Chains A and B, each alone.
Chain A
Amino acid sequence: MLRGGVIAATLVTCVAFAAPLGLPPLPVPADNPITPEKVKLGDKLFHDKRFSSTGEVSCSTCHEREKGFTDGLPVSEGINKLKGTRNAPTVINAAYLHTQFWDGREPTLEAQSAGPFINPVEMALPNHEPILKIVRTDPEYVDLFQKAFAKTGNRVTMKEVEQAIASFERTLIAGNSPFDRYFYGGDKKAMSPAAIRGLDVFINQGRCVSCHVIEQTQALFTDNRFHMIGSGAKQMPKNLDDLAVAVEDVKKRGTDIAVLSNEKTSSLGRYAVTRDLTDIGAFKTPTLRNIALTAPYLHDGSLKTLEEVVQFYNNGGREKETDPVPELLSGGIRPLNLSKEQEADLVEFLKALTSP
């Protein structure tokens, strides 16, 4: 059940075109239908480095098309290579998520897009004014905003910027992977025998399917919920004093800034948003689609390969079997007793989730 994660209050309509094989209909908010003009504008905004204090960082710096719309780094680097604390999630299929960011602190693609511009370790603008200055005066943007929103001058606000970026991101959906063709398309040859065995592990002994959801006619590979799986256990507050310090940080500097600049605050996960003790260290289940392209893994990029991830889960949420079991571990995580062959098969299956 969703707790705290809020689907956009505006009505959502599902787009009429057929979604790719294995994906459900694309949700689109009623107040921001997709148009080719918005998509073209959003694409340009997404790649524009001028919206940063050093003129060197755009959304695509950390969400690069060639790298599965992430950056291949454990944690992302903003202006002047300033390190954050979190691994860049892929934008592919982010349109299907009910909340954005690892801790779900923004409910929509629109709302998410505004945050990084003003975060000190990302684009580090003092506020959104520099962006508005450019889009209101640069002739190319003036033309694009006119075509997309029929707005010019001061009627172009961050709302239009966000809506354009979100519309572009909504075109970044991908299904029709070897898994989809095997499972939903009936092509028994689409996956290798190892991947087929891996699918069995995924559903049965691996217990993956409860959070990384597969359903009868489509598979998002995420339940859109937040779980403490053992990642970040080392940095998590263990006692009241540590917790109080981290909460103070969030209260003083705001969630977006605090969690990206301090490892300990970052390890709070969903708790920073809900202040519910049951959410400490919980992070959103990411989709596994295209997972082979988006290494390294987990919210802090601490696991480099899929093999390491599978081992982490096999140990019940621990990198090594000898690590202590985190007290606040989600009830869904436990040692799996997979054999080496089963682990390898599972990795082969995960590789079959890459869309062409």
Chain B
Amino acid sequence: MKMNRRTFLKTTGAAVVASALPMSLVRVAFGAKNPAQDFTFAYISDAHIQQIEGSKFVRNWDMGLIRAIQEANLLTPRPDFFFFGGDLAQLGKKEELDHGLDIISKLRGKVYYVIGEHDYYLDLGKYWESKISPLWYSFDHKGVHFVVLNSILTYDKWTHKNWTTPMDRMLAMARLDNPEGSPFLVGEKQREWLKKDLERVDKSTPIVLCSHSPIQKIYKGWNFWTDDAESVQTLLKPFNKVTVIYGHVHQIQYNQVGNISFHAVMATAWPWPYPKSYVQDPSHLPKLTVPMNRADPFFERDATGWQFINLRTGNVDMHYQLPDNENRSVVFNPKTGSPKDSKYQDVSRHIPPQNHY
């Protein structure tokens, strides 16, 4: 093969990414034809800062966010920016959001925010919007179009039921296994906005959609679910390279639906079981997903963590940083056009801790 600078850099980059060490990520600049550049960003999510009383917060969840931020501050080369993926607070209280923001203030870098249901349902996003971030927006970075949605809305008749207090509504949404819950929605208003927003975007521009809910239908009982997922996916179909990054599930998940890659991010607070471990109900975890290792609850950070993302050639490579556990890399495989775990994808390579039941 004729070795020119571009091929040399490409192969070097591939080898480095496969070893998943944060120290030596190669940036590849593509020619004028494709303005999208290789870059990295990091994602921290689902902190669930929980107030006990006064200025006492649940130490376990505090330590999770503190650790992720300290590790992220030691990441080199520096990522271009950070995302916070939602559920900063546990019950949406001002004290919890403020305490969380205080911890995040130690993070060295710009932070974009995605809202989660635990942040939203106490005051319907008022404090978040006034102090932290708009609820949905988009921006461009180095030739990639980023979109952030508020994907944890739900049907008006549930949101505006005659709740005794706003906290009752928050508690009802906070309880994951609530039989009286209501499925997540992006909703018509945001879908209209998204359609218009994407009209200005070239079909060859890579798109990254940051959402709290999965924009898929995985398990309704725990709201691993977006009721209008298909409608949102339809809006993304015309584009060549689309990745949806979502929180909420507190576990490793990844999927490919047509041209859209899906990647779940880990929580800093605590892990959740895979839906199939609730045997009374069927569920649909993407078959592609190789599960994370089961957690030892003695190690409070086990099966929690954060991630940095290498947007190599416009597709996402996600590198999970999991303390007290083995790091994982889920990397886009251009041959199959889908994400692939760099070590465990094949069934013959699965290890006992990945057996969830």
Contacts and interface: CB of A to CB of B under 8 A. Distances in A.
A332 interface: yes
Q: Which of A239, A277, A330, A332 has most B Cβ within 10 Å?
A: A277
B59 A239 contact: no
Interface in A1-21: 1, 3
B23 to A, nearest CB: 7
Contacts of A210: 296, 298-299
Interface residues of B, number: 30
B92 to A, nearest CB: 26
Contacts of B21: 275
A301 B76 CA distance: 32
Contacts of A1: 293, 325-326, 353
A142 interface: no
A330 B70 contact: no
Contacts of B293: 1
Which secondary structure dominates where chain B touches chain A? loop
Contacts, number: 63
A26 interface: no
A327 interface: yes
Given A330-B301, A331-B302, A239 B327 contact: no
Interface stretch (B190-198, B244-252, B316-324): B316-324
A-side interface size class? 20 to 34
Given A1-B293, A277-B22, A332 B298 contact: yes
A328 interface: yes
Interface in B57-82: 59, 63, 66-67, 69-71, 73-76
B70 to A, nearest CB: 4
Nearest to B69: A327
A331 B71 contact: no
A31 interface: no
B76 A240 contact: yes
Given A277-B22, A327-B66, A334 B321 contact: no
Contact of B327 (A247, A278, A327, A334): A278
A1 B322 CA distance: 13
Contacts of A239: 73-74
Interface string B4-33: 000000000000000001110000000000
Contacts of A240: 73-74, 76
B354 to A, nearest CB: 11
Contacts of B299: 210, 330-332
A210 B67 CA distance: 21
Given A278-B324, A329-B63, A331-B300, 11 more contacts: A240-B74, A247-B23, A278-B321, A278-B323, A278-B327, A330-B299, A330-B324, A331-B63, A331-B304, A332-B299, A334-B59
5 contacts: A237-B74, A277-B321, A278-B324, A278-B325, A331-B300
Interface of A: 1, 3, 207, 210, 237, 239-240, 243-244, 247, 275-278, 280, 325, 327-332, 334
